[in-house]
Amino acid sequence: MLQLAHKIFLYAFAIVPVAVLIYWYAMVRRRKAIRDFAEAPLFKKLASDSSLSKKNLKFILQLIAICLLICGMVDPEIGSHLENVERKGSDIVIALDVSNSMNAEDIQPSRLERSKEAIERLIDQLQGDRIGIVVFAGQPFVQLPITSDYSAAKMFLQNINTGMIAVQGTSIGSALDMSADMLMNQAGGAVGRSKSIVLITDGENFEDDALRAAKAAAEQGIVVHTIGMGSEEGAPIPTTNGGVSGFMKDKDGNTVVTKLDIQLLQQIAAASGGTCVRATTSDAGLNSILGQINRMGKKIMAEKVYKDYDEQYEWFIIPALLLLLIDIFITEKKTKWYHRLNLFGNSAK
């Protein structure tokens, strides 16, 4: 399979017809100047050493060299072999709470924005690991399937907000079940790799049995780490209605205060041998959890086969340089050996 590494340089071939036209025009002007200077027989005697055929030969060599140099810059690549690549790492799924309570600002700039910043820094530290993202509120949703494409992970991360799931609530158990399913069934058959779920939430679970889901994950060899976002004192939930900012209120008109339930998160982590960390404004806790994941040991991922391409530019650059070198030693004057060779016939002098 052939591919061109730098297709933009194909436009440089426009130089070739331009160079031919300029050379042709120069030769026309030369012949006219010769006719104005003297009769043809007389000019041959006056410039007996001048060789038009050698001038043409030098131009042809230069033109071929230019074409070869352009081909070298385009850099054709040929898929010539298959390369087996082994990667060591862990499989990690981030289960991120996107319920309205994550808009609370007891952790600046908000619980959710602080979580996203921490996840992005985590991605920057991954080496050979694969990552997936599950977001959840009243129900879970796969935001990013498990991948080693860290650029894609960052792109998907930026699109996360509290309005992306219509069903509000905090269904931690369902999020853990979906995350465990991704690790067991969508991880590409990476048997033996350490598998972890990092649950990031304020811990207010109103929908299902989160502790049951954590125990079920542990039975499959998955460790659940938890990060508590928020304070136990709580904070109101900002809202915007028709451009007017305020705070969420209950049916009685009282301001809703969302509080961190750190006890539930500690129980979830303990059920699977994981770590529970309380986030602060300065530290979201992901660094310490990544250290725990690394200490679990990184296993070899199932071998992947990548098609590699061999660059072919040297097959064009080297002949081009040789032609230019030859061109340096070719003069435009007649020599005895060149006269004997007579490449262009007796008429081309």
Work out the pLDDT band at 189, boundaries 50, 70, 90.
very low
pLDDT > 80? residue 9: yes
Phi, psi (rounded to 5 degrees) for 307:
-85, 125
Work out the pLDDT band at 349, boundaries 50, 70, 90.
very low
Summarised one tens digit per residue, pLDDT across range 286-340 is 777 877 777 765 555 554 555 566 778 888 999 999 998 888 888 777 665 555 5
Residue 200 to residues 10, 118, 191, Cα–Cα distance (Å): 51, 10, 26
Element (H, E) at 320: helix 314-329
- Which distant-in-sequence residues (6+ apart) come within 8 Å of 218 by Cβ? 224, 271, 272, 273
Top CATH class of 88-300 equals alpha beta
Summarised one tens digit per residue, pLDDT across range 97-155 is 999 999 999 888 899 999 999 899 889 888 878 999 999 998 999 999 999 899 999 99
Provide the residue ranges of all domains of the chain, joining segments of one domain with +: 2-81+308-341, 88-300
Least Cα distance to 199 among 83, 332, 318, 96 occurs for: 96
Question: Which pairs count as long-range contacts for 335-342, CB under 8 Å and 24+ apart, including other chains?
Answer: 338/51, 338/54
Q: How much is the pLDDT for 227?
A: 92
* Other residues' Cβ atoms within 10 Å of the Cβ of residue 344: 14
Q: How much is the pLDDT for 265?
A: 92
Summarised one tens digit per residue, pLDDT across range 28-50 is 888 887 777 666 666 566 556 66
Work out the pLDDT band at 169, boundaries 50, 70, 90.
confident
Residue whose token pair is 């136990």: 232
